[in-house]
Structure 1
């Protein structure tokens, strides 16, 4: 009997020891630095997309949700501030399942590069299938708007440098209308109020588009860039 009692005591002691070592591990604090960014200019849009209360006021939970979204989508700013770049990323994410759901870009049997100035998005479709994008873009500012309508790519220059705007680099340029081109924009795609009429893409997206398109491919542009006159 003493032997059985001794064995039972040893087993109970071992079980208690296991529980004691497991509890601190499960309750270890998660590395979650404080999120202190103030409300941004696109606060309500981010709150709506992320399923947060839409009140335009930044809470700690709002900040963390925005920061998580920024990190997940590789935004260079990942501090929970609802800036323009983060909002443009939201538009890409929301459009991705079917960027032409509204039917604004004409469907053709050949490739069509669709430039949606309302949402500042670009994609390429063939028939009803999307073969590239959607990706964020930057179109022309006031008095230098990107020209709407049908166009065709008439000249391509992979390493183009502007002869008009202080030798500005325009990598992967694909010109579609009177000097306006689809091309990469080194640096921040969202700096300034808009392009000088070209359709700016990130350099990485412009390189992929370069590999896909060819001269005589069609480009269709519509809408109005936010912040410009109709």
Structure 2
């Protein structure tokens, strides 16, 4: 009877949790606790964060090509535009733009082609960054 009762209890709890299998290991990012978004230029990865804890990512990115490098530093989100078009580059579409350093933004773009300084994200990641970042949030960019 005890074995049957134990089996019943385990059946009510997700198997991975009952056995301690598959528990998520906290991801780390190379940015400080104040960062709401973290970008690692050398690893070509970005994260969303809250008080030093990763909430999303890492996700792959591309960033500035030679002559248009994305600068490292600590910045703040200044504004967002869901359907932005670049006035500087022939109305190039920049969906889900989150601007954090002048004309530099996270936005949906090619993960195979480098940018003119912006941070390209896949569509799903760009949507997540757009939905989670607000003006005033800290963006940290490291090498």
Do structure 1's residue 184 and structure 2's residue 105 form an aligned pair? no
Gaps of 5+ in 2: 1-24
Where is the strand percentage greater, Structure 1 or Structure 2?
2
Match in the other structure for 1:215: 135
Question: Equivalences for 1:1-230 in 2 at 5 Å?
Answer: 98-100=27-29, 104-108=30-34, 111-185=35-109, 188-191=110-113, 194-223=114-143
Following the alignment from structure 1 to structure 2, what is the Cα–Cα distance between the partners of residues 177 and 211? 18
Secondary structure, counterpart of 2:39 in structure 1: strand
Where is the helix percentage greater, Structure 1 or Structure 2?
1
How large is the Cα RMSD of the aligned pairs?
1.5
Structure 1 segments, 4+ long, off by >2 Å, are 96-100
Secondary structure, counterpart of 1:197 in structure 2: coil
Secondary structure, counterpart of 2:48 in structure 1: strand
**TM-score by structure 2 length?**
0.78
Higher relative contact order (CA 8 A, sep 6+): 2
**Residue-by-residue CA offset, 1:167-213 (whole Å, 9 max, x unaligned):** 1100010111120011111xx4113xx11000110122101111111
Gaps of 5+ in 1: 1-95, 224-230
Secondary structure, counterpart of 1:215 in structure 2: coil
Following the alignment from structure 1 to structure 2, what is the Cα–Cα distance between the partners of residues 217 and 128? 13
Following the alignment from structure 1 to structure 2, what is the Cα–Cα distance between the partners of residues 201 and 125? 16
| Structure 1 residue 128: Cα displacement | 3.0
**TM-score by structure 1 length?**
0.49
**Residue-by-residue CA offset, 1:110-151 (whole Å, 9 max, x unaligned):** x52000001000001112321111100011011100011000
How many residues align? The count is 119
Higher Rg of the two aligned structures = 1
Following the alignment from structure 1 to structure 2, what is the Cα–Cα distance between the partners of residues 162 and 170? 7
